[in-house]
Amino acid sequence: MRIIENNIIKEKLYLEELENGLKVMIIPKKGTNKKMAIIGTKFGSIDNHFINPKTKEEVIIPDGVAHFLEHKMFEQSDGTNSLDTLTAMGVEANAYTTNDHTAYYFEAVDNFEPAFKELLNYVFNPYYTDQNVEKEKGIIDQEIGMYDDDAISKVFYNALECMYEKCPVRIDVAGTVESVDKINKDILYNCYNTFYNPSNMILSVCGDFEPDYIINLIKTNMKKIEKLDKIERIYPEEPEKIYNAYKEEKMDVSIPTFVIGIKDKVEKENIIKKELILNILLNYILDENSKLYKELYDEGLLISEPDLEYEYSDIYSHMMIFSYSKDPKKVFEKVKEEIRLLKDNGLEEKVFNRVKNKIYGRLITSYNSPAQVGRIFMRDYMNNIISFDYLNEWNNINIEDANKELKDRFIEDKMILSIVNPK
Amino acid sequence: MSYISKTIKKGITLHTIKTEKYKTNLIAVFLTFPIIKEEATKNTLIALMLKRGSKLYKTREDITNKLAEMYGASLDSGIEKSGDNHILKFYLESINEDYLPKKEELFKESINLLFDVVFNPNIEDNKFNEEFLKQEKYSLEQIINSKIDNKTMYALNRCIETMYEGKPYGIYKYGYVEDLKNIDAYNLYEQYKKIISTCKIDIFVSGKNDDIESIITENKEIKKLNEREPYFIKNGEPSNKNAERYVEEKMDVKQGKIVLGIDVINNEKDLRYSAQVYNAILGGTANSKLFQNVREKASLAYTISSSYMKLKSNIFIRAGIEIDNYEKALNIIKEQMEEMKQSNFSDKDIENAKRAIITNIKNIKEEQDIEISYYYGQELSDIKTSIEEYIQNIENVTRQDILDVANSVSINTIYFLRN
């Protein structure tokens, strides 16, 4: 077992790869009663075209399969439902699907051990029938319907559709009512057998326990699964330029919502540093302390601090600024203008340091709850990152690098605007 | 972990939760007073104005810059309705001094900043800043109007408004657009003086510093506060007698939202613990009757749940459904309520429900803000219950208790949002 210790946050990570390829991360947290376990597979909505590593067949699947699989993992062949079983143990269990991964988790105060065994059992024992697959379609249709009425979800998807022409990140995680209708049990098994191999998965555990105890629990409770080769995923070639600069839609809301998207190059090197700098820059430009926010607030163009996000995977990389405004187009112009000014004049040292401190505080705060810690470590490791490295790298961030990234990444031709207007 | 509650002045209570569990200190100030329709808008506006600037930190930028320098400390405020009370909540979270890159008195700075914001507003010539007020009135207008944006919350709010029309609990917590025009910088300051000198004040600190009490009692803003006979409501007014009133509203939505507002009325027995167990069996968990029957068996919904509101003794059942399936869904919901009445639930159901509730109770001590909310809830209640007693009270609930709830429930209002 590899032990990685961090002196800034005063926590340790125990890391082990099992024979079947499963990567296990254990972050002990003394003195807490809460425990959490999360198991993630690198299978999200973007993985819709791949080569089955066993049959070597090329497979193209309908939109929404990863999410559908997540819904169907809980049902067991003996007629039980693991979500019910876990709920009955008094633990909070759930699952989610994103663009690039799917995860199953639970949080417990009591009954950690039986819940952990149940997790290891249901995630590795699929049970799909024609009947239980059909039944799920009505439920998922209502989930899609819920998001159809949600302006926030709409404005984000429209932003992705603007930035990307071909990349499957532009597809809704849940798919559409039509694509979901095409899903059947054979498709589910094919995807399950490909992506739910332990070699494509990470298990992360956080709570007050000894690492050996966890490793033993896994070894004695996980069924034997043969390690598969690396999965070959086929993604369309995405042009560097944006697809559409603007998209507008009308819904029954009180005030327009908007997303400003900035498309970025996909890179594999120095990701941590890049992510920290981009977050600093986004906050520098438009967080609640920024000069621009003050100006927009005073003019009534913004009423609350925008959400600022940088997101990336192996095939996409972009920034998004989300908020509400009576005039999103004007906000967009002001943002572009501010970026031009900052590029010309360079960043101010004092402001830069203030934002840098703020990012540091956020990194520290994220270690408060076991639930958050477990999730963050799993998700970061999907991108081959050990979460501690954000804290380590923070010290090395300087204003020169930030000025350079500002010039390289915040390019006007790569910006889009998505708006949802009131009717 | 230790919890100590201490009256530092009449009407002003300091609650100290000493813990080493977290990387942060969380400080909270809650101002509690009865909710009144004519004053609700003003009180919300006060919360917004306080965050616009204090005596020491004149503008919003001065405050946020200070916060950013304090390693991204965060200052949040919230406006809540709890029973028939209106509560202005202010929180400041900052990282614990042990995790700073260099030594600083961050806890003391946090206290000073938060108290300056709440108790030392930027007042000149007996009024709030006019320009800021104009902006905050605009901002509040947007907040009030945005009520329709989240359809799920909107439907719930509309159901509550119908049940409590004309009563304090039916008041919208952010207030009303038409009341904004009568608010000016002078009368808003008058209102501030009134609430700050009469409201119940609770100060919470969760963190690991040893000098919490002395730092707070020595703070000059705390020294300035007067003693008071705190005025707040313990048991508010009950809902209107609606007897299954149907309210339908149309909007351009794809999915319909159904909300059933239910009264739990029993004058002989205290049902607050048994109602929690009843609710968990009916619709509180993934094992519940509603989740199993409306979602898993009939595939009618993705979201279906029920929740129990202790202070008002109400249960709210909510579902997002295909609009044409309204009758079908409503019938299944009513059937399941009837099943509860007929005692058609197993001992295992009772056991599972208790486990789920007890897990939530045990979680109280695992998150700073939840723990603060729990102790605050105790403050508003006549009966003080420790977490251990709370768990025991849930364990003690019997089948008969649950049946007593089943026989005490009545549908007050059915609200349906559709196209």
In a domain, B233, yes or no: no
Domain ranges in chain A are 2-233, 246-422
Mean pLDDT confidence for A124-149: 94
For B110-123, what is the mean pLDDT? 97
- CATH code of the domain covering residue B350: 3.30.830.10
* Catalytic status, residue A70: yes
Is the domain of B250 the same as that of B121?
no
What letter would DSSP give residue A75? B
* pLDDT tens track for B380-411: 887 889 999 999 999 999 999 999 999 999 99
Residues 59-88 (A) with a CB less than 8 A from some CB of B? 81, 83-84, 87-88
Three-state DSSP class for residue B397: coil
Q: Are strands B200-207 and B24-34 parallel, antiparallel or unpaired?
A: antiparallel
CB contact under 8 A, A142 and B95: no
In a domain, B249, yes or no: yes
A292 touches chain B (CB under 8 A): no
Structure confidence at residue A372 (pLDDT): 94
CA distance B317 to B293: 14
Looking at chain B, how many residues does it have? 419
- B251 & B179 share domain: no
Q: Does the beta-carbon distance from B64 to A288 stay under 8 Å?
A: yes
Residue pLDDT, tens place only, A372-417: 999 999 999 999 999 999 999 999 999 999 999 999 999 999 999 9
Give residue A305's identity as a one-letter amino acid code. Answer: E
* Whole-angstrom Cα Rg for chain A: 23
CA distance B356 to B307: 13
> In Å, how far is B263's CA from the nearest CA of chain A?
27
Nearest chain A residue to B69, by CA: A354
Percentage, residues of chain A above pLDDT 70: 100
Give B150-169 pLDDT, tens digit per residue. Answer: 999 999 999 999 999 999 99
**Which of B22, B148, B152 faces A368 most closely, judged by CB atoms?**
B22
Whether A357 sits inside 8 A of B253 (CB atoms) is: no
Owning domain of residue B121: 2-224
Q: Which of A33, A145, A253 sits opposite B254 (nearest CB)?
A: A145
Mean pLDDT across the stretch A227-239? 94
Domain count, chain B: 2
Give the residue-averaged pLDDT of A292-305. 93
A32 touches B at CB < 8 Å: yes
Tens of pLDDT, residue by residue over B85-98, are: 999 999 999 999 98
ipTM of the complex: 0.87
Place of tokens 């376990």: A37
User: Between chains, do B287 and A294 touch, taking CB under 8 Å as contact?
Assistant: no
Cβ separation A32–B21 shorter than 8 A: yes
Residues B142, B177 share a domain: yes
Residue B343 inside a domain? The answer is yes
Q: Which residues of chain A does B65 touch, with a Cβ-Cβ cutoff of 8 Å?
A: 289, 354
Contacts of A358 in chain B (CB under 8 A): 67-68, 71-72
Second-level CATH architecture of A2-233: 2-Layer Sandwich (3.30)
State the Cα–Cα distance between residues A177 and A264, nearest whole angstrom.
31
pLDDT(B208) > 90: no
State the pLDDT at residue B196.
96
Angstrom distance (rounded) from CA A399 to CA B145: 42
Q: Which residue of B has its CA nearest to A423?
A: B252
From the list A88, A294, A298, which residue is nearest B355 (CB)? Answer: A88
Residue B232 maps to a domain: no
Would you call B362 and A109 a contact, using CB atoms and an 8 Å cutoff? yes
Distance from CA of A274 to the nearest CA of B (A): 20
Interchain contact, B142 vs A255, CB within 8 Å: yes
Q: Which of A11, A70, A136, A161 is catalytic?
A: A70
Residue A169's pLDDT is: 97
**d(C-alpha B45, C-alpha B43), whole Å:** 5
Question: What's the CA gap between A66 and A44, in Å, rounded?
Answer: 6
Task: Please give the Cα distance from A315 to A405 (Å, whole number).
Answer: 20
The pLDDT of residue B267: 86
For residue A303, list chain B residues with Cβ-Cβ distance below 8 A. 138-139, 142-143
The verdict on B46 and B172 lying in the same domain is yes
B240 located within any domain: no
B218 and B258 in a single domain? The answer is no
Residues A160-174 pLDDT 10s: 999 999 999 999 999
CB pairs under 8 A between A and B: 169
B237 inside domain: no
pLDDT band at B103 (very low <50, low <70, confident <90, very high): confident
| Chain segment B346-360, per-residue pLDDT in tens | 999 999 999 999 999
Parallel, antiparallel or unpaired: strands A201-207 and A23-28: parallel
Whether B106 and B251 share a structural domain: no
User: Would you call A300 and B138 a contact, using CB atoms and an 8 Å cutoff?
Assistant: yes
For domain A246-422, the CATH class is: alpha beta
Distance, in angstroms, between B9 CA and closest chain A CA? Answer: 33
Residues 6+ apart with CB under 8 A from B374: B364, B387
The minimal CB distance from A252 to the residues B22, B64, B253 is found for B253
Binned at pLDDT 50, 70 and 90, residue B288 comes out as very high
